Chains A and B, each alone.
Chain A
Amino acid sequence: MKLMVTFSRKRGREPVIAQVVRDTGVLINVERAQIDSHEGEALIEVPDESCQLVRERMEALGATTRRLDRTILYDRDECVDCGACISICPQDVFAFDPEWQLVVEEGKCVLCGKCQLACPHGALTLQL
């Protein structure tokens, strides 16, 4: 399960992710993080069964969390199977099947947003 965690300096300077890992013992995979002096955002992946626990602990430490059921929304009708998304994706989300049709593995996406810009046909939209 992917969670988008938002930190705010106003609500404390705790090392939230480290704290939650220590408290819960759940191994959190940080897929992407952007943190500046005032606030930050991290995309994390946690095992489905620990999702609720991790969220509760993070919220208790002042972070807000949002469950991401989807990552990149793929509009098959707009896609022409060109493949412009394939080589620019850092996570290998996109590939061709043997018939040169695009295959999208949404679960690998870390929401970097490159494909949304690169798709000439507007077939890819980040779910944020």
Chain B
Amino acid sequence: MEKTIELINERIRDGNAVVVTAERMPGVVAELGEEGALAEVDVVTTGTFGAMCSSGAFLNFGHADPPIRMERVWLNDVEAYGGLAAVDAYIGATQQSETRRDQYGGAHVIEDLVSGRRVELRGSSRGTDCYPRRTIRTELGLEDLNQAVMLNPRNAYQRYNAAVNTTDRVLHTYMGMLLPNHGNISYSGAGVLNPLSNDPSLRFIGPGVPIFLGGAEGMVVGEGTQASPAGGFGTLMVSGDLKQMKPEYLRAATMHGYGVTLYVGVGVPIPVLDLEAVRATAVTDAEIEVDVVDYGVPSRGRPALKRVSYADLRSGHVELDGEEVPTSPLSSFRMARQVASVLAERVASGEMTLALPTRRMDATKAARPMRETGQGPRVRDIMDRTPVSITVDQPVTAAAAKLLRGETNHLVVLDADGRLTGVVTTFDISKAVLRPEKAKSVADVMSRRVVTTTADEAVDIAAQKLERNNISALPVVDGDRRVVGMLTGTNLSKLIGRGRK
């Protein structure tokens, strides 16, 4: 048996359609079987509610008198993109206020507008013959705008890798606070309720499909940016009328140490036309897997420590290296459920009918990383290649003599095999002078806990190490802990002089 979209829409209009949320679908299939579920259920509704940084809205302000072609636009001190003719702007969710930093941003502007609050518009222009005005300042509410169209380039990630931190310090990320030494795991996404997880082949989700967006009826524009459905990481570009949206489903937020973001409620109704649709919407949390990746590694290829399912993550604990690590989400499952339920009511009541995609999105697509034509500076490009070293058994006076030559403030200390074992600074020598009885050899005064870098490490990462540890030099070591150079603050300042090409 197969059903058509026309049949389902007819049932919706007649008020006879059977609509269930994606959370209930596995139970329906278990009870009625796949054929039974196909006969019984017409529509499965999905929902997700979480931080969706790649969100924003196009606003049209109407013309002022005398008219202005705004080149730069601010809303409550948050800059909006104004490179769109005269009186249009795009306010992006993560753009931060120039005065309130991460406590207020584009997401808050959107939330304020949708909550019925006025925002201050500031604009500037160089002035032209047709648009003579150079500045404008006024207060506007959502009702004063001609159009306010939410257009989110990347929403509703199909799934998202969970985050952990194996370093010994707290990390503040867009995945929330990550405690040191894998003290917690943070994850995001609604699992069983996630729209794309219920249609991974993209048969029913695509351009033109009506959806729930921020409380209003919106639609799928098409493939979201960075969509990678081939690997299970599809995304959606979605749009809707901001004027119809509700503040409950658009909530501005600040991730400490990261910045502003917008929590968005998105839900997609999926028509149950055939057995394949039944199977896809019967997906469970246990079947949707993600990696637990280490955000302590500051590179694109963060290592995956474990493969887990949303069922594991939602249980509250995941075992990692023999320890029970607590997990918690950043997205709200309660709100995801609410989105799916409200959407189900709207469809069941005939308020909203369904449509098939105007064209199919490519389910085999995989996102590529950035092509970098010039490699950013690496430690090897700026390091001192002739570090001054001393062996661990030498007297303190020998170290003092080397430091006094003035070439460096840091001596690398080598063991008998020539491997790095410590660092001695002028500060260590000064301490030794105060307590000569306790400090005879280099071994007695050196710092043994040495933070190091490697020749191919990005300079930005090495600079972060210097800053974070409040030190002024990093020995550069190879895989064998042999010192091949030294990176100091002085090396870094040369880089600034070169203009960071």
Q: Which residues of A are interface residues toward B (Cβ below 8 A)?
A: 80-88, 99-101, 114, 117-118, 120-122
For chains A and B in complex, what number of residue pairs have CB atoms within 8 angstroms?
Answer: 70
In the assembled complex, B333 has its CB within 8 A of some CB on chain A: yes
By Cβ-Cβ distance, the 9 closest A-B pairs, closest first, are A120-B253, A86-B328, A87-B184, A87-B328, A87-B326, A100-B334, A118-B177, A81-B334, A100-B333
Given A82-B50, A82-B329: A88 and B251 interface contact (C-beta under 8 Å): no
Which candidate, B152-160, B254-262, B405-413, is the interface stretch facing chain A? B254-262
When the two chains form their complex, are residues A117 and B177 in contact, meaning their CB atoms are under 8 A apart?
Answer: yes
| Nearest chain B residue, comparing its CB with the CB of A122 | B254
Q: Give the dominant DSSP class at B's interface.
A: strand
Pick the residue among A83, A117, A118, A122 that contacts B329 (CB under 8 A). A83
The interface residues of chain A lying within 8 Å CB-to-CB of B227 are: none
Given A121-B253, A122-B254: A84 and B330 interface contact (C-beta under 8 Å): yes
Cα of A87 to Cα of B253 in the assembled complex, Å: 19
Q: Interface extent on B, as a size class?
A: 20 to 34
The interface residues of chain A lying within 8 Å CB-to-CB of B332 are: 80-83, 100
The interface residues of chain A lying within 8 Å CB-to-CB of B176 are: 84, 88, 118, 120
Q: Which residues of B are interface residues toward A (Cβ below 8 A)?
A: 49-51, 172, 176-177, 179, 183-186, 251, 253-256, 261, 263, 316, 325-335, 337
A-B contact pairs, 26 of them (CB 8 A): A80-B49, A80-B263, A80-B334, A80-B335, A81-B334, A81-B335, A82-B331, A83-B328, A83-B333, A84-B177, A84-B186, A84-B329, A85-B328, A88-B176, A88-B179, A88-B328, A99-B334, A100-B333, A101-B334, A117-B256, A118-B177, A120-B254, A120-B255, A120-B261, A120-B263, A121-B253
When the two chains form their complex, are residues A120 and B328 in contact, meaning their CB atoms are under 8 A apart?
Answer: no
The interface residues of chain A lying within 8 Å CB-to-CB of B51 are: 120
The interface residues of chain A lying within 8 Å CB-to-CB of B50 are: 82
When the two chains form their complex, are residues B251 and A80 in contact, meaning their CB atoms are under 8 A apart?
Answer: yes
Cα of A86 to Cα of B251 in the assembled complex, Å: 20
Cα of A5 to Cα of B269 in the assembled complex, Å: 57
The interface residues of chain A lying within 8 Å CB-to-CB of B261 are: 120
Cα of A86 to Cα of B337 in the assembled complex, Å: 19
Cα of A85 to Cα of B256 in the assembled complex, Å: 12
| Nearest chain A residue, comparing its CB with the CB of B49 | A80
The interface residues of chain B lying within 8 Å CB-to-CB of A114 are: 177
| Nearest chain B residue, comparing its CB with the CB of A97 | B334
For the complex formed, measure the closest distance between the CB of A73 and the CB atoms of chain B, giving whole angstroms. 18
For the complex formed, measure the closest distance between the CB of B87 and the CB atoms of chain A, giving whole angstroms. 33
Cα of A81 to Cα of B331 in the assembled complex, Å: 8
Pick the residue among B184, B325, B330, B337 that contacts A82 (CB under 8 A). B330
